[in-house]
Structure 1
Amino acid sequence: MNWQPSRQGEITLQQQIETWITEHIERGDWVAGTKLPTQRQLAMQLGVNRSTVQQALEELKAAGILEAKVGSGIYVAHNSWHSLIKQTQPNWQTYIDTSLHKPNYHTIQLINEYEQRDDVIRLGTGELAPSLLPTTEIEASLKELSLEPKALGYSSPQGSNQLREAICEYVKKRGIHANPQNICIVSGALQALQLIAVGLLEQGSIVFQEQTSYLNSVHPFQSVGMQMMPINRDEQLAQTLVQKKRNRQAVFYAVPTLNNPTGGVWKELEKNQLYEACKQSRIPIIEDDVYHELLFEAATSPIKSMDDSGQVLYIGSVSKTLSPGLRIGWLIGPTTVIERLADIKMQTDYGSSAVSQEIVLHWLQTGKYEKHIKSLRKELLRRANFVEGILQESFTEIASWSPSKGGFYIWLKFDEPIVDKELFTKLLQRQILINPGYIYDPQDTQHIRLSYAYATDEELKIGLQIVHECVVEAIVKRHKE
């Protein structure tokens, strides 16, 4: 044993000794149960102070690699291999805890988990039932497509030029005038929000939103250091925005048509008021318009249609209408903004699926898409009426609601604050999955987002009966306390 630690490097003598002993054990030179030389012997052989050896041995004992036997000496521990493996593996939990993106609420993690199970009745799900997806028609359209070899490669940064041209024609019906260079194809609305968060805003920026908001259930802005700020859209809106914004960057996230989760629809005047208030403070607006095609009555013009200064970033998608699995949406905005976000998108996923883009292009160009939307709205209206019939029959004494104006949801409000984790868990135990209001507003203990778009009629009937039973039990329990 002629090795001695170096006094020239940055690593301390103690750390070098610890590594040297560990390597002997890893190589099998010192097997479990091997007795080490005494501290005095090691100090002499290694040319260091005895205290340095003692500290090294204490660290290895604390790590479970060595063990002391009273009156006998220091030995290689019998579980030393296990301890060494633990030491050589990275501490992944530390990485997770200190990572940039924040974990979602436990309730939402459970929702995401249980949505994959076939034995659960999904009463809050924000997607179409498989029976409402035009599966056969999409399969048939694949045979109608004539794919060029280039279409099977990576997409261009902003997406297929043909698809962007088709989207320009499509959004004209909404009063939006755009050119292909104003559009970036994204993998759904959530990716659009993520790109805006990392590509346009600095840490500490304010994201204004309504009190009850979909953004509270996901973290595209919170995870990169943005401050979420609920705000009332009242007569003092313009002054409030100025006071709250001060010298910081800010954006306003708005879902004017079929708000998620409330299902609310803004009037034309309300859209104008927001646009003018934000214009005064030079606050960009993110208009999330993914549900507008599902309105049961004619839709009013989007905020983007009144935008003459490039202030509004407009998000559309086929995830709520055609297929969430296609992962195709679009973001419309000023050219400089779109080029910036397209560059970031290319750095993260090299563009949305080229095949999916070809399918959406085909559906827009052939009129299949609008034909499908008409029949889908009709079925969603039937389902909404069916659920409202159940609510009228069984829930009038314990809850209130507004008739659905379209989309997927009824924002059901119970008369008492009983919507908590306990109710959510109790329903889950009975294989009923709900979306409680507190995931959209942490202070909300009275609402659930009731979806009629996924469960079958029979499942809706059974599920709502069980919800009724559990809610009544919760109310009775609350009155006894």
Structure 2
Amino acid sequence: MPLHRQISAYFISKISSGAWPPGMRLIPQRELCRQLGVNRSTVVTALGQLAALGLIEGSRGGGTRVAASSRAGASGPDAAARSTGAAGQLGGNWNDYVEEGIHYPNLPAVQAINRLEYEAGLIRLGTGEPAPGLLPGESMRQVLLELAQNPLPPLSYEEPLGSLILRRAVSQELSKNGIEADPSSILITSGALQGLQLIALGLLPRGSTVLLEKPSYLYSIHAFQSAGVKFSGLPMDKDGLLPDQLAAAAIRSKAAMLYTIPSFHNPTGILMDAGRRDALMDIAGGLGLPILEDGAYQDLWLDDRPPNPLKARDREGRVLHLGTLSKAASPGLRIGWIVGPEPVVRRLADIKMQTDYGASSLSQLAAARWLEGGYHEQHLVLLRGKLRQRRDFMLQLLDIHFAGLASWNIPAGGFYIWLSLNGTLSLRRLFKAALQAGVLLNTGDLYDRSDSRHLRLSFAYASEDEMDHGIAALANIINNQMT
């Protein structure tokens, strides 16, 4: 069967089955060509056949959508009644429901990255997770074998705060970084991201303002915005957030909370020094401003151990601390935690029980054994060595290919190098050009909407061969676009 007929047949099957409902926007032709590996004339021919059948149509806002009466066999007055009738104000069109939900969709670029990260053959230079080869597969297999050799506890729901065994193990782990937290002050979450969502929903009134570093990881997700919370960005220097800017910003915006990543900040990789942390705690304390500390990268130091977290300096119960196993041990295990005052974690636990009735009991059992058995500490030693080697290799490549094109930091831990281009350009255009060359990027505008000159480069995922090819290709693209 000719390629254009294969494509149109595939589209017809999706539309006729209801998988692609009326009003759904199709991906752009250029992206469709890339995904299918065909030229544009083939796609245009296929789409033309679908348009002639009345299955797709151009939309006023641009692009192409599935037609309102596009289901196979749908025609005449009955089809019209189905498309405009009994579903009330939304008209029975699933696309209307999709667009009216209260939770904001991801940014289009983030949606594209989330989808493209699973395509074979792309060099992932921005991915914020360890490469599969850095994950402790053999050690985790040993953990599961140990669990299988003993009677399993009942695989029922855990208590609202999470497995007591795991919370005790997390408490011991936190003490290594100076945080003294009783298990009753710890809530187990399905990853740190769920912790952010629970805090946004459970602690902050709609219309309130959160202060945060700019750029920041929080700008790339919509956990807080979907809850009606606004952001106010604070400037940074090489040592992190500037405390002397905090008081004026908090008073001006009537801020409800400060969010910060003091250790190996995402996306810049900046490490806040001990003096800056003390100053931040003093000023926030004087303002009565609660702090949400994201400690996702705290243990991923590559040179010297970082200062203790803000939570270790907290004597008033003013800091909520987020932690996770996703960045070091296993993203797929989906285990994180929130540490804070007992009334706060109980409130968040109540919301969690309303949403998912607790993290997986099997995952919690494995995580407890992982921590109690000393596997985590052993793995961190190996992981830091491998990440250090990857960081140094990427820095060498940047010296070779980006001298005169950009400047960059030398991160003391975490996953990221914050690349600052010497000139401005369209980051969207750069993203598309890099994708055409087989390189997937995280551009700076994901973390600061006004950014036009930064890239978050990750040395945690791509192999050395991929880094070698990807950095060279990226430099060539940027050279062409800046001239």
Band the TM-score falls in, shorter-chain normalisation = 0.7 to 0.9
* TM superposition shift of 1:105: 1.4
2:195 to 189, 192, 195: 192
1:133 is aligned to 135
| Distance in 2 of aligned mates of 1:136 and 1:327 | 18
2:438 is aligned to 431
* TM superposition shift of 1:238: 4.8
* TM superposition shift of 1:411: 0.6
1:159 is aligned to 162
**Alignment-mate amino acid for residue 285 of structure 2:** K
Matched, 1:364 2:371: yes
Matches within 5 A, 1:82-101: 82-87=79-84, 88=86, 90-101=92-103
* TM superposition shift of 1:404: 2.1
1:113 to 112, 115, 124: 115
| Distance in 2 of aligned mates of 1:370 and 1:303 | 22
Secondary structure of the equivalent of 2:264?
coil
The Cα offsets for residues 24-49 of structure 1, whole Å up to 9 and x where unpaired, read as: xxxxxxxxxxxxxxxxxxxxxxxxxx
Secondary structure of the equivalent of 1:407?
coil
* TM superposition shift of 1:92: 2.2
The Cα offsets for residues 92-111 of structure 1, whole Å up to 9 and x where unpaired, read as: 22222222111221111111
| Distance in 2 of aligned mates of 1:383 and 1:412 | 16
1:51 is aligned to none
| Distance 1:460-1:242 versus aligned 2 partners, 3 A rule | closer
| Distance in 2 of aligned mates of 1:78 and 1:241 | 59
| Distance in 2 of aligned mates of 1:332 and 1:358 | 19
The Cα offsets for residues 87-142 of structure 1, whole Å up to 9 and x where unpaired, read as: 34623222222221112211111111100111211000001111111112212211
Identical residues among aligned pairs (%): 40
Matches within 5 A, 1:74-473: 79-87=76-84, 88=86, 90-145=92-147, 150-232=153-235, 233-234=241-242, 236-246=244-254, 250-296=256-302, 297-473=304-480
**CA contact 2:124–2:439 (8 Å) conserved in 1:** yes
* TM superposition shift of 1:292: 1.1
* TM superposition shift of 1:269: 1.1
The Cα offsets for residues 353-386 of structure 1, whole Å up to 9 and x where unpaired, read as: 1111111111111111100000000000000011
| Distance in 2 of aligned mates of 1:111 and 1:397 | 28
**CA contact 2:326–2:335 (8 Å) conserved in 1:** yes
Secondary structure of the equivalent of 2:159?
coil
Secondary structure of the equivalent of 2:299?
helix
- Number of aligned residue pairs: 400
| Distance in 2 of aligned mates of 1:187 and 1:315 | 12
Secondary structure of the equivalent of 1:152?
coil
| Distance 1:163-1:474 versus aligned 2 partners, 3 A rule | same
* TM superposition shift of 1:391: 0.7
| Distance in 2 of aligned mates of 1:194 and 1:379 | 32
| Distance 1:405-1:83 versus aligned 2 partners, 3 A rule | same
Secondary structure of the equivalent of 2:103?
coil
* TM superposition shift of 1:419: 4.7
Secondary structure of the equivalent of 1:292?
coil
| Distance in 2 of aligned mates of 1:457 and 1:266 | 29
| Distance in 2 of aligned mates of 1:345 and 1:278 | 28
**Alignment-mate amino acid for residue 418 of structure 1:** L
* TM superposition shift of 1:407: 1.4
TM norm structure 2: 0.80
Range 444-453 or range 139-148, more displaced: 139-148
Segments of structure 1 that go 5 or more residues without pairing to the other structure are 1-62, 65-76, 477-481
The Cα offsets for residues 431-472 of structure 1, whole Å up to 9 and x where unpaired, read as: 210000000011111110001111111111111111011100
* TM superposition shift of 1:151: 4.4
| Distance in 2 of aligned mates of 1:224 and 1:102 | 9
| Distance in 1 of aligned mates of 2:97 and 2:459 | 40
Segments of structure 2 that go 5 or more residues without pairing to the other structure are 1-67, 236-240
**Alignment-mate amino acid for residue 280 of structure 1:** G
**CA contact 1:395–1:468 (8 Å) conserved in 2:** yes
* TM superposition shift of 1:302: 0.7
**Alignment-mate amino acid for residue 176 of structure 2:** K
**CA contact 1:151–1:354 (8 Å) conserved in 2:** no
Secondary structure of the equivalent of 1:145?
helix
| Distance in 1 of aligned mates of 2:160 and 2:403 | 52
| Distance in 2 of aligned mates of 1:380 and 1:78 | 60
**CA contact 1:426–1:470 (8 Å) conserved in 2:** yes
| Distance in 2 of aligned mates of 1:78 and 1:419 | 45
The Cα offsets for residues 14-68 of structure 1, whole Å up to 9 and x where unpaired, read as: xxxxxxxxxxxxxxxxxxxxxxxxxxxxxxxxxxxxxxxxxxxxxxxxx99xxxx
**CA contact 1:151–1:355 (8 Å) conserved in 2:** no
**CA contact 2:295–2:322 (8 Å) conserved in 1:** yes
Secondary structure of the equivalent of 1:294?
coil
2:23 is aligned to none
**Alignment-mate amino acid for residue 80 of structure 1:** P
| Distance in 1 of aligned mates of 2:163 and 2:341 | 18
TM norm structure 1: 0.80
Range 125-134 or range 82-91, more displaced: 82-91
**Alignment-mate amino acid for residue 123 of structure 2:** I
**CA contact 1:418–1:475 (8 Å) conserved in 2:** yes
| Distance in 1 of aligned mates of 2:372 and 2:159 | 20
* TM superposition shift of 1:274: 1.3
